[in-house]
Amino acid sequence: MPDKPDITIFEVGPRDGLQNEAQHVGLNDRLKLVELLIDSGLKAIEVGSFVSPKAVPQMADTEALIDLLPRPEGVRYSTLVPNLKGMEKAMQAQVHEVAIFASASQSFSQHNIACSIEESFERFAPVMAKAKAVNMPVRGYLSCAFGCPYEGEIAVDAVVMVARKLIELGCYEVAVSDTIGIATPQTTQVVMRSVIDEIGAAVAAAHFHDTHARALDNIKACLELDVTTFDSAVAGLGGCPYAPGATGNVATESVVDMLAKLGLRTGVDIAKVNVAAAYISKVLKPSSAL
């Protein structure tokens, strides 16, 4: 058995990335993208979501995609689920794990899922009960941890409270997310240190958008706090439909390259992840891609 990598890359491009692209990406191209990501050595891949196709049309064929995906040993497929109905669909599709999402901002919670933070946890309770019954791991996203497009600055105490509640619900990990890409290395350490003091570094992941080209520096700041799991999206795909002005997620290929230069292992082949990035870039921008 190979040694566990120093850093885990949680690939979110096929879901969090593609869901916000204006151009629809067809089933065959989504399948090819995931296959290329697997070939690069990525082991944790968010492949889709079971949300309303009217709300997120890019994810409408998630069930069909999962049915076509290979099942290599050691690779985990994740899907986002907003409620019990989504959870039941994920179980039928036999994904390895699911993710739920909560916000540290009341305004963002209302815009994103049309309920308060408190109400969102009430919705998640039956999801978590079902997951526990079938022994399915659940990951938690914590959005607007560094700022909100509607409220601006978010109190660190609010971030810590949501992180604690996600762990208390039964999430195995919380991805602390810079939804609008405004974090700096300094604010990253303030927020992440507070979260880690509450829930521990082992269950704290980080999810950065690269709106102001600071995501890699923010990841370095997290490394100093012993965070070892980072979300990224191949080719820097994505953004957020409820966060005006937010650009894509930090690019997987950039994260892998930086970590390699720091002497840290990810288990990801940079040349092969670049192939995946070039493929999806050509799909999305065929006229300008090389």
pLDDT tens, residue order, the chain (290 aa): 457 899 999 999 999 999 988 888 999 999 999 999 999 999 999 999 998 888 888 999 999 999 999 999 999 999 999 999 999 999 999 999 999 999 988 878 777 777 778 888 998 999 999 999 999 999 999 999 999 888 788 999 999 999 999 999 999 999 999 988 999 999 999 999 999 999 999 999 999 999 889 999 999 999 999 999 999 999 999 855 444 445 689 999 999 999 999 999 999 999 999 999 999 999 998 544 33
User: Cβ contacts of residue 114 below 8 Å, gap of 6+?
Assistant: none
Q: Which fold has domain 8-284?
A: TIM Barrel (3.20.20)
Percentages helix, strand, coil for the chain, rounded to the nearest 5?
Answer: 45, 15, 35
Q: How many helices (H) and strands (E) does the chain have?
A: 10, 8
Does 171 qualify as catalytic in the annotation? Answer: no
Asked if residue 12 lies in contact with residue 232, where contact means CB atoms within 8 angstroms, the answer is: yes
Instruction: Give residue limits of the domains in the chain.
Output: 8-284
pTM of the model: 0.94
Q: How far is CA 80 from the centre of its chain?
A: 9
d(CA 145, CA 175): 10
> Whole-angstrom Cα distance, residue 18 to residue 151?
26
Residues 6+ apart with CB under 8 A from 197: 160
